[in-house]
Amino acid sequence: MQRIKEGKIINLRLKILDIDWFLQNIKSNWVIDNNWSDDEKIKLGIKEEEKTMNASDLSDFIDIVIEDLNSYKEELNNV
């Protein structure tokens, strides 16, 4: 169990919300996931970092997907 150190709780999954947040959102939603930033979610391992591909990488990725799909299709045809 994480302990309190120097007045702060060392657990990124814990986010203390002010009661006003609940009062303001009582009629709409209580999706607390929105209280964590994308960076925090990445550090927690609940979201993957977004990566961009250049045209060449995208082309290679599409080729791999096509190869995989053709392989699956061939397997299905043999059933």
Confidence of residue 72 (pLDDT cuts 50, 70, 90): very high
What is the model's pLDDT at position 1? 45
Q: Would you call 47 exposed, middle or buried from its count of C-beta atoms within 10 A (0-12, 13-18, 19+)? A: middle
Residue 6's SS3 state is coil
* Gyration radius of the chain's alpha carbons: 22
Are 10 and 3 within 8 A, CB to CB? yes
Are 42 and 33 within 8 A, CB to CB? no
Confidence of residue 54 (pLDDT cuts 50, 70, 90): very high
Could you tell me the two tokens for 34?
């929105």
**pTM: predicted TM-score of the whole model, two decimal places:** 0.52
